[in-house]
Each structure stands twice: as C-alpha cells, then as structure tokens.
Structure 1
Amino acid sequence: MKIFFKKNNKNENSIFGGETSKYGRFVFVGLLVFTFFVAPIITSASAVKTANKNGLVGYWAFNEGVGTKTGDASGKGINGTVANTTWSSGRFGKALYFNGTDSIVSAPYNSALDLTNNITMSVWYKKDVGSGTNKWLLHKATVNTSYAMFIEGGLKMRLEHPSMQDCLVTEPSEGVWHHAVSTYDGANMKVYVDGVLKNTCAATGNINLTGGGIEIGMFSSPGYYPFKGLIDEVRIYNRALTASEILDLYKAGDGGIIKTIVSGKTGLVGYWPMNEGVGTRADDVSGYKNNGTLLNSPTWVTGKLGKALSFNGTNSVVDFGTKFPNITTAITVSAWVNPGSTQMTYADIWGNHQGDVKGIVMQQNAATTNQFLWSYGNGVGWTNNSGTFNLTANTWTHVVAIKDASYCYVYLNGVEQVSARGNCVSDIVPATTMNFSAGLGYAGGGRYFNGKIDDIRVYNRALSASEVSDLYKSGGQVTLNASRGLLMVRI
C-alpha cells in the first residue's frame, strides 16, 4: 500500500509503502492541513505499527470474502478449508458467519502447531444473542484436543497436559464483538477479554501432542459445540504473549479511523492521548515512552478526542512515570478538561507539587469550586503562579498553561485569559519525589480531581499564541471515504 498526500496544495511522495496491513495507528506530525489519498480497497486505517508477528504460527484473517479456502498469513502455509459458512462483513474487513449447525473451518496438520509448553490463542468473535452455551471457537483437532478455546458455562481455555485442565471466565456479552485471548507459559493459563486479564489458573506440564490440525467454529468429531455467529482474525502463537503485547494486539485491531495526531511536535516531551479505552496503561506517544499507570481505577469513557479518563475525586490517579527533571525555564502543559460539579479543596487537575518549593501543579483555588490556577515551586516558595480562571462543570474546555522567561499564562479554548497572567521570572525547581500525574498533583495526597481529562501534552518550551490556537483547533478529526479512497486529516 502507498499513501500520497498534498501539503499546502503541493503533491508529495508517499509516506508509507509496502505490504498492506489493517493493524495499528497513524501518527502524523505537523501544524498543516494534509489530504491523504488511500487505495479505495482499504476499509480501515493501515499500519505504522503492525500487530505482533513474533512466534506467529497460524493466522487466518478471513478476508477472502468468497470461495471455500482461507489463507494462513503466518507464513507457515496452513491454509484452511471453509464449509457451510457465509462470508460477511467482519470486525476488520471480512469475516465468516457460522450457522450453529454444521459450519466449520479446517486447517491441516502442521508440525508448527505442535506446541508443548508455550502458546497463545487469539480470536475476535461476535456470538448471536440467545444462541446458548457450548460453542466452539477453535482447537487442535482430535477426539481429545491438545488445546482449545470455547464457550461452556463461560469463556474457557482448555489444555490436555496430560489430564484435561480448564481456565474459565464469565462469558462476555452476546451480540457484540469481543477479543478473546488465552495463553499458557508452562506455569499458568491466562484468559483475557478485550485486552484485560480476567483469570489466571496455575498449570504445569507439557501439552499433549495429538497430531491433528486446527478446527474453527466446531468440534467436528463427533460434531460438538457448533458456534453461531461471526468469527474473525484467528491467531496462534508458539509463545505466551505478555499482557502488554495482548493489549497492543487488541488496540492495534480497534478498527477505528480516528487515530493519534501529533501537532506541534517541536519540544514535545510527553503526550498521552488516552485513547486506549481499556486496561491500566496510558501510552506516551511523544517518543519518550513515559507510559502512564492507572491507579485506583480511573475509568475509560468517551472523551473530547476519542477516549478519555474519568477521575472519581477520591483516589484515582494516572502516574506518568517522569518528573520532567530537565524542565526549568519554560514549559507548556495542554489538556482537555471536563470537571465535575463538586471538588475537593485544592483539587488538582495535574502536577507534582512537592512541599511548596518544587514541582508544578494546576489546582483549584482552595474551596472555590472549579476555579483554578497553575503554579510552580522555585526552591524557596510557592509564589510563582497564574491568576485564577473558571471552568464550567460538565463541559469540555481546552486548558493550556505556559511559562516563559517572564510570565505564567493560561489559555482557554485557544484564547489567553489576560486576567490570569502572572509574573513568573524565577526558574522551576523540578520535583524529586512525585512523578507528573493527572487527577492528583500534590505529593501529600488528598487533593483529587473529580471529572474527565483527555489528551495531555507537555512541551519543554513556551508555545506561541498561534500555536496554542492551532492546537485547540486541531481536534484530530479524521475521515475515510472508502468508496472514494480519500483519507482527510485536519491537524
């Protein structure tokens, strides 16, 4: 696949090329308007970061859309035969609909599938509502299966090693797509649903090798457990993927068109779009890889740009893993903020305020609900700060805090709040004990923010007024018209 774009109405070369893939995300850089022309056959955003192929020994994407064969994209050549199924639109591209009676995909024996003490099975499925339990997803096919994943009183992983052992989780909701993954590493069986670990079961010993191939959608001998619904993207690995890899695999196939857009990258030292939507990690896409850790269960919600995090105002925090020790003379912190109607005294949106003499913080003005200011420690006291500004409860506002060599500034929705400008001549003394965080900005705790936060960025320089305006307007809107082959991104 090649993607071409126009920049400032001039044709440019392709920015991607090579093998088509439907996994991953776009990351575009700049403060420009781009128009991307994509081959019309592409129906979802294509890869910058491809899904993990390390150890992949079987991969049936079901994208043929016609015929009785489905290719193995792992490189092992274990192509499948399709029987009594219907080609359908899938979670990504095409999928197969299984009729709950006699539908099956069969792939022949291959020694690459003889896995003894390390395995991962991954599948996307959408089970018909009311179709009942005892539904087979996939297994290594013999009378006594070597390894399998199916629905029987819940979502279940099964191994024969040498006796049968199951690892069970509550069955996910019917009628919607789910990503089911199970792993075994010689010590534990684990089952994940939609990127989240749901159960760990102790297990030891080698998996029995039975000589059969792979069956998807039914246990053909003697015809047990026919699945009813859609199955897509079946993968088998010869190793146990890590929790991080499974989350990446889930996110890489999220099928969305709105992706990470990095505007104004110069000086960007931290950027958390918060678009994961699942799990306990918020990735830093600035290139510095200071990935955030969710503590005390901030919840994933619909945000201003894709997903966001909601903070409970009691104890939920995201720790971004860095104190920004090299930021002293200039800084910009940008975020979309949607505060709740009640707040703790001194509630912090972000920061790492330490002992009144170190770090940075955006905090509520004492007990005045949703009136905020931002400040920093200069090693002597907490005397350098902006003036106050008000945020409207339950409303998204783009909030930017800036320090240059002379002043502290605040911008709301791209406009400087002149009344909030403060004298800030002295340098920032970075915090030494608390990492930069969202939902709490005070090392002593007890100042938790109630509300939603999205798209946090930190720069090691003061953005100009025009850059702030561009950042506010960027919005990250991405549109793909598959029939015309046009992907337009305004950033």
Structure 2
Amino acid sequence: MKHLLSLLCATGMLAGLVQPALGSVSLLDGLSFYLDFEGSAPVDTSGKNVVVTNSGVTSNTLTGHYGAIAGVAGNAGFFNRADKDWLQIGLGYGKLAADPAPQPLAYSFTISAWYYMQPESAPTDRLFLYEGDVDYDLSFGIRGDLASSNGSYVGTAYNPGKTNYDVSNAAYYDTTTNEGAWQQVVETFSSDGTTVTKKLYLNGELVGTTSTMAQGSLYSPAINLGTFRDNNGRYWDGFMDEVGLWNRALTDVEISDLYDLTYIDGLSVTSLAPEPSRAVLLLLGIVGLHLRRSRRRA
C-alpha cells in the first residue's frame, strides 16, 4: 500500500506538471465527418453516418502501389488519376438565398486532409485534393510550377471570387509542396454573421489568410475529394488519408494538436478524448501525499 500511495503521489504531481495542453476544447467537439480509409471501402467513422459516394477509390495497405508506401496512420485511400477515381462527401456548407436554413456545416467550419502526390504526375497538370461540388470557395489543389523548369509543384487554395491560379489570387502559393511525401492541409472558415474569413494551414502551421468574403456567397451541398467542382477532370494522383470535417473553425492550437495526433495515431476517440486536466492530476498527487502522511502518523 505504501508503494502504491508513493506512486500515486509521484505520478499525479509529475503528470500535472508536464502534461501538454491540448487546447480547452476537445477535437471531437463539432466533428461532423471522418474518413480514415481503414475499411474495405470509404466510410464515415465519425458516428454521423454521412454518405460517401465512391467512384473507384480503394482503401488498402498500399502494398504494390508506387513503392509500397504506408498511410499516415494505418491504411490510406488510393486515387488513380488514370482511372478517374474520386469521392463525394454528402455534407454541405453555406446557404442559398432561397433555402430555409444553412447546410449542416453552415458558415464556420474546418476541413483537414493528409495527401501524398505521385512523382509520376505531369508537371503542368492541376490535381485537386478537394473542392466544393458547385463552387471553389472551398478548394485545395496542386499543379506544376509553370515558372520553373525543375518540376516543382505549388499548392493553391483559391481566394473567394477569384478564377485564376496565381500568387495574387491564392491564399497559399509556394514551391515547397513536393511529390512523394505526406503533407497535411487544413482550411478553416470563420463567420462573424456577415463575412467569412478563410485560413490555410500546412503541416500544422498557418501559411495563408484570405480577405473576407460575403457570407451569402458561400455554398455547396457536397464536397468532392480527388476532383474539382465539375466532377469530370483534374483528378488527384496518389493517396489521401485522415480526412475530417468540423462544424466550427478549429483554433491554431487545435490544428497544431491535430497535426501531431493524426501523424502518430490517426484521429480516434482514444487519441482525442479530453485528457485529465493539470488540476485533476495535481489533486491526485496531493491526495496521495496526504494519505501517505496520514498513514505515517497512524
């Protein structure tokens, strides 16, 4: 018993001092969709049972595909550009003026996805990781850097209302997006009731913020993975893993935590369940110390 009390005391106080802060709100709060590609077919594992329309995408261990790479956490989804593979998530955002109510994600939401682009992709192609089914306010794509001869790629998220891929029209435009490597992209949309601000994060770090757009211009009844809004071209070529949607804008701290957690374990109830607070852990240590001293006096 003495050793148990000592362990309780030491563990509680030490954990209370060194436990990392994972943000005040659990990453499970507002989770509306999650696709981990662990089953035999793409299925929402958030518990919300969102419909995923499949057009050829397979979930596998990746063995035999382009050097047998592994997913970020377990398996990943394989998107073959030659086969025109893509998915559609039956979850919308924003609202049409004629609609009585907004789509489930409304005007403040977050999308997160890990991606791996194949080295075989042609440098001049535009390959879309995701985009809204009817507009491109929500959009992230990769294309060859036409200004360079080294085959490097740029990652681009559109500014609202813009129509071209160039530095003045992108929330993020950089030549550090490489082929053959896992990277994470997160986009957040935050509404103040009138306007919406979009932010783009790469590997847990903020890399771009758009000017605000009119809240009324934001709308799509579904989200496409692996193709652009017209569902008939610019297909993703490679893999995708750990795709999540939240009905709120995640904070900078939460996005950093999300990057760390999914890179290690994938998003799960276990990995994202709220940790005991420092106060609780310290209290356990104090209680253990008090009980130990009480036994000594007895």
The TM-score bracket by the shorter chain reads 0.5 to 0.7
- Are 2:136 and 2:229, in contact at CA under 8 Å, matched by a contact in 1? no
What's the offset of the Cα at 1:99? 0.9
Gaps of 5+ in 1: 1-27, 31-48, 257-284, 289-491
Match of 2:222 in 1: 213
Mapped to 2, the partners of 1:95 and 1:212 lie a distance apart of 25
1:98 CA displacement: 0.7
Aligned to 1:169: 173
Q: Is the alpha carbon distance of 1:245 and 1:99 closer, same or farther for their aligned partners in structure 2, counting shifts above 3 Å?
A: same
Cα deviation per residue 1:105-131 (whole Å; 9 max; x = unaligned)? 122355785545322110011111241
Tell me how far 1:136 sits from its aligned partner. Answer: 0.8
Instruction: Choose from 122, 131, 151 the match for 2:112.
Output: 122
Q: Distance in 2 between matches of 1:245 and 1:57?
A: 16
- 1: distance between equivalents of 2:159 and 2:46? 23
CA distance in 1: counterparts of 2:229 and 2:277, whole angstroms? 49
Equivalent position amino acid for 2:138 in 1: Y
- When the two chains are superposed, the root-mean-square deviation of aligned CA atoms in Å is 3.3
8 Å Cα contact 2:159-2:211 kept in structure 1: no
The reply to whether residue 194 of structure 1 matches residue 203 of structure 2 is: yes
In structure 1, how many angstroms separate the alpha carbons of the residues matched to 2:140 and 2:77? Answer: 17
Q: Does 1:183 align with 2:188?
A: yes
The 3 A distance-change label for structure 1 pair 195 and 109 is closer
Q: Contact (CA 8 Å) 1:120, 1:237: kept in 2 or not?
A: yes
Q: 1:254 aligns with which of 238, 257, 263?
A: 263
Contact preservation (8 Å) 2:158, 2:170: yes
Deviation by residue 1:315-353 (Cα, 9 ceiling, x = unmatched): xxxxxxxxxxxxxxxxxxxxxxxxxxxxxxxxxxxxxxx
Is the partner of 1:253 in helix, strand or coil?
helix
Residue 86 of structure 1 deviates from its aligned partner by 3.3
For residue 141 of structure 2, what is the aligned residue in structure 1?
A: 150
- The equivalent of 1:71 in structure 2 is 43
As a proportion of its length, which structure holds more strand? 1
**Alignment partner for residue 127 of structure 2, among 135, 138, 142?**
135
Specify the code of the residue in structure 2 equivalent to 1:185. Answer: S
Question: Greater helix percent: which structure?
Answer: 2
> Could you tell me whether the CA contact under 8 Å between 1:120 and 1:239 is conserved in 2?
yes
Which structure has more RCO (C-alpha within 8 Å, separation ≥ 6)? 2
Cα 1:75/1:166, change in 2 over 3 Å: farther
**1:103 aligned residue:** 85
After superposition, residues 44-443 of structure 1 pair within 5 angstroms as: 52-64=27-39, 66-67=40-41, 70-89=42-61, 90-101=71-82, 102-109=84-91, 113=103, 115-131=105-121, 132=123, 133-142=125-134, 144-152=135-143, 154-158=154-158, 160=160, 166-170=170-174, 171-186=176-191, 188-206=197-215, 208-219=217-228, 221=230, 223-255=232-264, 287=278
CA shift, 1:71, in A, is 1.9
Q: Spell out, residue by residue over 1:154-213, the C-alpha distance to the aligned partner (whole angstroms, 9 max, x if none).
A: 2222365x6666412324222111111111224532211111112223223216354532
- The residue type paired with residue 208 of structure 2 is N
Please, what TM-score do these two structures have when normalized by structure 1? 0.38
Tell me the equivalent position of 1:330: none
Give the Cα separation in 2 of the matches to 1:81 and 1:122.
Answer: 19
Q: How many residues align?
A: 212
C-alpha distance 50-245 of structure 1, shift in aligned 2 (>3 A): closer
**TM-fit CA distance, 1:228:** 0.6
Post-superposition CA distance 1:29-64 (Å, at most 9, x none): 59xxxxxxxxxxxxxxxxxx9971222222222111
Report how far residue 80 of structure 1 moved: 0.9
Question: CA offsets, 1:118-155, max 9 Å, x none?
Answer: 2211001111124134111112212x335222224522
For 1:95 and 1:103, the matched residues in 2 are separated by 14
- Contact conserved, 1:115 with 1:207, CA < 8 A, in 2? no
Question: C-alpha distance in 2, partners of 1:104/1:227?
Answer: 8
Amino acid at match of 2:158: R
Alpha-carbon distance change, 287 to 193 in structure 1, aligned in 2, over 3 angstroms: same
CA–CA distance in structure 2, aligned partners of residues 207 and 114 of structure 1: 15
Whether contact under 8 Å (1:51, 1:252) holds in the other structure is: no
Q: Is contact 2:132-2:229 (8 Å) kept?
A: no
Q: Secondary structure at the match of 1:248?
A: helix
Change (3 A) 1:163 1:125: closer
* Percent identity of equivalent pairs: 25
**TM-score, scaled relative to structure 2:** 0.61
Distance 2:231 2:207 in 1: 31
Match of 1:77, as an amino acid?
N
Partner Cα separation in structure 2 for residue 190 and residue 210 of structure 1? 17
1: distance between equivalents of 2:106 and 2:214?
8
Equivalent residue of 2:209, what SS? strand
